[in-house]
Amino acid sequence: MFGEKAGNLIKELSRCENVLPPYNTDMVKEVCAEIKQLDDLNRSNGAIVANESGLAVNSNPLYPTLRIGVTALKRNVRCLIAYHHNRLRILRTMRWEFGSVLPADIKVNMSSEEVEWFCQYSRNLAKYMRSIGEDGLNLGLDLRPPKSLYIEVRCLVDYGKFELSDGTVLLLKKDSRHYLPRTECEELITKGIFQHIL
């Protein structure tokens, strides 16, 4: 049935909310092939309908076939656009969650065009953030309203030395617990080095 593959593509994406499924190259290729096939079909049918000028256009027996072909083509194109567009929206959310460097397990699911788009987006965003105020404002920080000044965190990896803004140097070891100012550790939490203990 026409349009089925494109529909499956969308379904696959909507099943994984906030997770990026692998870029389905095969399916996308199949949908593209279907679009091309439909396009050819519509062109030849259209030519026949136009040539049989004796009949009114919409009483031609081929007319319903042509209409279905055109609708299916449109639907396929639209699904394909939606697939690509919504994948970008997921990536965009991830830019805010993980920062400009994505974890490797997400990168393997991206197509090369998506990697490029992500770099562009990051660059654009960084440019915007630098332009706020006199020396820029990092919108990637302060993502949640501050509840308390200090939070308790557990270090998940052997990170090594970490200098606080007041000059104190901490040695961060795996599974060590720290009680630190929230502003200092926010970045390390998003990077996955710290875990916030509630």
Partner 1 sequence: MEVDNEGETEMASLELEDDDDLTLEQVLEMMEVAWLNEKFAPEILPHKREIVELLLGQITYLEERLQQLPSTDFKKGIHQMEIDRLRYLLTSYLRLRLEKIETFHKQILLEEEKRADENEALYLSPKELEFAQEFEQDLEAHLAANMNFCPNWQESTATERIVQPNLNSMVFLKAKKDVEGIAIDDGKAESSDLIDLASGSQVLINYNNVASLVKNGDVHLI
- 145: contact with partner 1 by CB under 8 A: yes
**Euclidean distance between CA atoms 77 and 71, whole angstroms:** 10
Residue of the chain from 92, 106, 152, 190 that contacts partner 1 (CB under 8 A): 92
- How far apart are CB 145 and partner 1 at their closest, in Å? 5
Contacts of 121 (CB under 8 A, 6+ apart): 91, 92, 95
Candidate residues 137, 156, 189, 193; the one interacting with partner 1 per rule CB under 8 A: 137
Residues in contact with partner 1, shown as a per-residue x/- string from 7 to 46 under the rule CB under 8 A: ---------------------x---x--xx--x-------
The count of chain residues that interact with partner 1, using the rule CB under 8 A, is 43
Backbone dihedral region of 160: left (phi > 0), alpha (psi from -120 to 50 degrees) or beta? left
List 132, 157, 171, 197, residue binding partner 1 (CB under 8 A): 132
The answer to whether 10 touches 82, Cβ cutoff 8 Å, is yes
| Binding site residues, partner 1, CB under 8 A | 28, 32, 35-36, 39, 74, 77-78, 80-81, 84-85, 88, 92, 113-114, 116-117, 120-121, 124-125, 127-128, 131-134, 137-139, 141-146, 148-149, 166, 181-183
